[in-house]
């Protein structure tokens, strides 16, 4: 019997890729995308509806049976929002999605958390490591994980919960850190912020979507796993891969951290007087700190990655039409 999937926050980067993947699999009779924003792109066969998870979700809003729920709805750009905004959307949204799953009788939920629940770390961390979130975003995701766990614990024999903690995810229509890096490299304006050896756990969006389907198929009814590539990629490794695939000029210079922080402060002052910019000291420090997360559970479960860093960038640029990395 074909399945019916409901994706909260489905119009975003990951949700748009998942929607397309579910339709292309041929296993789903219905794929319903719920969001307050328009999708990154529209996929034929996906139903798009506008709804805000910060408000209670009526059971009557969706007719028929729902086989599985994906909860991607989140405020995630950090820094970029007031602390309360992360909790308002990420915690209240988790509460409303789980309330809806209870009332509708949906027994399968996939929730995207974040490696932000670990906090930055120079040491390698896996799923057994202590959770020490520092940002409001990371703390809100930790709270949301507990809300989803409570839903699953109420009926552990029949309810299945998969929590994925993605690292930095990149790919087509990402509009995030990797896209910004490619644009700076193409203009010859990129420099390493303070150091080259910062570990940045990362993964390609197509492999992330594949990993969700793989982990849903595992026997356990409660799974939490990190998603990133098993290899430890440094800022220098990532930059060199972009240089090679994009044909950019090699980057050899590193700007001292105090200088970068001074620049960040300058942009904060400009922002305060009306010149909008995303550059600030918090973002500089974020780039300077390692996120050294390994996907132990995923690897131990036997998942096979389709791409590595270089081949994923090659795949990304092959599907881009407006720039090197759309």
Distance CA 98, CA 109 (A): 9
Query: Is residue 137 a contact partner of residue 122, using CB atoms and an 8 Å limit?
Result: no
* pLDDT tens across the length of the chain (326 residues): 789 999 999 999 999 999 999 999 999 999 999 999 999 999 999 999 999 999 999 999 998 999 999 999 998 776 667 898 999 999 999 999 999 999 999 999 999 999 999 998 899 999 999 999 999 999 999 999 999 999 999 999 999 999 999 999 999 999 988 998 999 899 998 888 888 999 999 999 999 999 999 999 999 999 999 999 999 999 999 999 999 999 999 998 887 777 777 877 777 677 777 777 666 776 666 677 888 999 999 999 999 999 999 999 999 999 988 888 99
Which pLDDT score is estimated for 277? 66
Residue 209 placed within a domain? yes
Residue 285 placed within a domain? no
Residue 315 placed within a domain? no
Distance of CA 224 to the CA centre of its chain: 15
Residue 183 placed within a domain? no
**Other C-beta atoms lying within 10 Å of the C-beta of residue 126:** 15
Sign of the Cα pseudo-torsion (295, 300, 303, 305, in order): positive
Query: Is residue 4 a contact partner of residue 66, using CB atoms and an 8 Å limit?
Result: yes
Which pLDDT score is estimated for 23? 97
Query: Is residue 224 a contact partner of residue 163, using CB atoms and an 8 Å limit?
Result: yes
User: Measured at the alpha carbon of residue 207, what is the angle toward residues 205 and 209, in degrees to the nearest 5?
Assistant: 70
122 to each of 119, 198, 231, 289, 290, how far by Cα in Å? 10, 8, 15, 8, 5
Burial class (CB in 10 A: 0-12, 13-18, 19+), 232: middle
Which pLDDT score is estimated for 322? 85
Query: Is residue 22 a contact partner of residue 28, using CB atoms and an 8 Å limit?
Result: yes
Which pLDDT score is estimated for 274? 74
Peptide bond into 79 cis (omega under 30): yes
Q: What number of CA atoms fall less than 13 Å from residue 271's CA on the CB side?
A: 13
Which pLDDT score is estimated for 62? 92
The Cα diameter of the chain in Å comes to 60
Distance CA 115, CA 143 (A): 13
Which pLDDT score is estimated for 79? 65
Residue 247 placed within a domain? no
Segment (H or E) for 166: strand 160-166
Q: Hey, what are 230's tokens?
A: 């098993």
The single residue listed with the structure tokens 């988790």 is: 94
Distance of CA 23 to the CA centre of its chain: 21
Distance CA 243, CA 104 (A): 49
The residues near 59 (Cβ < 8 Å, ≥ 6 apart) are 100, 103, 104
Segment (H or E) for 255: strand 254-255
Nearest alpha carbon to residue 211 among 114, 312, 298, 309: 298
Residue 45 placed within a domain? yes
DSSP three-state, residue 256: coil
Give the number of domains in the chain: 1
Nearest alpha carbon to residue 25 among 6, 45, 40: 45
- What's the residue count for the chain? 326
Which pLDDT score is estimated for 278? 66
DSSP three-state, residue 320: coil
Which pLDDT score is estimated for 116? 95
Residue 219 placed within a domain? yes
Residue 193 placed within a domain? no
Q: Which domain holds residue 46?
A: 3-175+201-231+292-309
Nearest alpha carbon to residue 216 among 229, 203, 225: 225
| CATH number, domain with residue 305 | 3.40.50.720
Which pLDDT score is estimated for 284? 66
């Amino acid at each position: 019997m074909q399945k019916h999937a409901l994706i909260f926050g489905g119009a975003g980067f990951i949700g748009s890729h998942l929607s397309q993947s579910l339709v292309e699999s041929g296993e789903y009779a219905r794929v319903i995308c719920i969001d307050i924003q328009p999708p990154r792109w529209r996929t034929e066969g996906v139903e798009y509806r506008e709804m805000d998870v910060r408000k209670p979700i009526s059971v009557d809003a969706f007719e028929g049976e729902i086989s599985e729920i994906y909860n991607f709805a989140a405020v995630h750009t950090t820094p970029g929002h007031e602390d309360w905004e992360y909790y308002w959307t990420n915690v209240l949204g988790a509460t409303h999605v789980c309330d809806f799953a209870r009332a509708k009788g949906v027994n399968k939920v996939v929730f995207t958390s974040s490696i932000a629940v670990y906090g930055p770390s120079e040491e390698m961390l896996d799923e057994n490591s202590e959770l020490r979130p520092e940002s409001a975003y990371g703390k809100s995701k930790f709270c949301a994980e507990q809300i989803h766990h409570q839903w699953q614990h109420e009926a552990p024999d029949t309810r299945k919960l998969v929590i994925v903690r993605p690292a930095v995810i990149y790919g087509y229509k990402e509009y995030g850190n990797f896209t910004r890096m490619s644009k700076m490299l193409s203009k010859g304006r990129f420099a390493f912020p303070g150091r080259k050896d910062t570990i940045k756990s990362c993964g390609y969006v197509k492999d992330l979507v594949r990993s969700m389907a793989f982990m849903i198929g595992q026997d356990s009814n409660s799974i939490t796993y990190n998603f990133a590539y098993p290899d430890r990629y440094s800022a220098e490794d990532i930059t060199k891969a972009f240089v090679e695939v994009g044909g950019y000029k090699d980057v050899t210079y590193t700007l001292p951290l105090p200088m970068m922080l001074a620049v960040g402060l300058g942009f904060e002052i400009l922002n305060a007087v009306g010149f909008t910019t995303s550059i600030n000291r918090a973002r500089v420090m974020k780039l300077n700190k390692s996120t050294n997360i390994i996907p132990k559970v995923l690897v131990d479960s036997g998942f096979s990655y389709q791409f590595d860093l270089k081949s994923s960038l090659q795949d990304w640029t092959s599907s881009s039409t407006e720039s090197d990395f759309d």
